[in-house]
Amino acid sequence: MDRFPGSLERVSGFLQEEYKRAFRHEYWHIGVVDAPIETFLEPDAQPEVRWLPLPDRGKFYADPFGISRGGRTEIVFEEYDFHSDMGVISWVRGDGDGHFTRPRVAISLPFHASYPFLIERSGEVFCVPETAQSHEISLYRAVAFPDQWARVGTLVRGVAGVDSTVFERDGMFWLLCTDQDDGPFSKLRIWYAPDLLGPWTAHPANPVKDDWSSARNAGTPFLVDGELYRPSQDCSHTYGGAVVLNRVVALSTKEYREEPVARVGPFRDGRFRHGVHTLSSIGNRTLIDAKRFGFNGTAMARSVRASIAGVWGRVLRRHATARTENAPPN
């Protein structure tokens, strides 16, 4: 009989997680679907995806948002670099034939940036990128879209906002996100304001939702027959495992309720079939991203160093605790 089943299970689980961190890394990529976003409300929707050209192996693309005008499609997205372990906001321009320019940097910050959510208002374009490491949610205005931006100000301070999504509904502006420091995958929070520039007020019911399978944002909210739908991530089994489309049934300064109505699983007909975590509307088309698992030497080395540092740190803490407990009384 196994005398230490609990200990063996914990060791086994630890080794499995360390193996995944060291040898199984996520590569995300973005594509275009020639169908409007509401198409994904249909059961088992799996429209054809036109993938953008692949980046260098040391990078991946994720979180696409865009604007289509004058026969051109301009997309901003996260360009992640395994070497720096950081993302910048980059952009590409596409023509009607599906050709895209090489990526260029749009917004580069001294910390990781991703999920460049776009807002069009009064002829101007604004962006709310994810900058959780700064512990604030900031607003940028396009001086010349998509490659010149000016920071307008801070919408919410003291919050490590993840995948912040902003929209206007019933005469109010609504900001939805999760918090990197408290439930980044599971706890949905809301702020509301009379204007895009604020002042923003935290919803009294925060977190309005606590659910790993449908809380974290996953793209642009959209309307169908007057009803509001919010894309969210299903992270119950893996980060960005699928997108869940939720129908918002109550939205006010006192309550928030929604119900899941459709699930968009990974695209099984290509390389990127291990997850999907963005659906964003761009006119009559939809931008998506999807992931595959692969190996990256730089990420492996970083994971190993982090694991060793973590184990060594625990050893030192235990040693310090033992010395304190065994020290003679004064």
Could you read off the pLDDT of 107-163 as tens digits, one per residue?
999 999 999 999 999 999 999 999 999 999 999 999 999 999 999 999 999 999 999
CB atoms within 10 A of CB 195: 11
CATH code at 284?
2.115.10.20
Residue 54 domain-assigned?
yes
| Alpha helices (H) in the chain, listed in sequence order | 5-23, 297-326
| Separation between Cα atoms, residue 244 and residue 216, nearest integer Å | 10
- Containing domain of residue 185, as a range? 26-311
Specify the pLDDT at position 297. Answer: 61
Structure tokens at 280: 């964003």
The helix (H) or strand (E) run that includes residue 264 is strand 256-264
Could you read off the pLDDT of 165-220 as tens digits, one per residue?
999 999 999 999 999 999 899 999 999 999 999 999 999 999 999 999 999 999 99
Residue 181 domain-assigned?
yes
Query: Do residues 59 and 81 make contact, with C-beta atoms less than 8 angstroms apart?
Result: yes
| Separation between Cα atoms, residue 145 and residue 122, nearest integer Å | 14
Residue 267 domain-assigned?
yes
**159 exposed, middle or buried (CB, 10 Å; 0-12, 13-18, 19+)?**
buried
Left (φ > 0), alpha (ψ -120 to 50) or beta: where does 123 sit? left
* Pairing status of strand 227-234 against strand 242-251: antiparallel
Give me the DSSP letters along 123-162. Answer: TEEEEEEE-GGGTEEEEEEEEETTTEEEEEEEEEES--EE
Domain count, the chain: 1
Residue 330 domain-assigned?
no
Name the pTM for this structure: 0.87
| Separation between Cα atoms, residue 234 and residue 277, nearest integer Å | 8
Residue 278 domain-assigned?
yes
Residue 5 domain-assigned?
no
Residue 38 domain-assigned?
yes
At which residue do the structure tokens 């894309």 appear?
231
Contacts of 233 by beta carbon, 8 Å cutoff, 6+ apart: 185, 214, 215, 216, 217, 218, 239, 240, 241, 242, 243, 244, 277
Residue 325 domain-assigned?
no
Specify the pLDDT at position 238. Answer: 92
Q: How big, in percent rounded to 5, are the helix, strand and coil portions of the chain?
A: 15, 50, 35
DSSP code of residue 328: P
Specify the pLDDT at position 318. Answer: 55
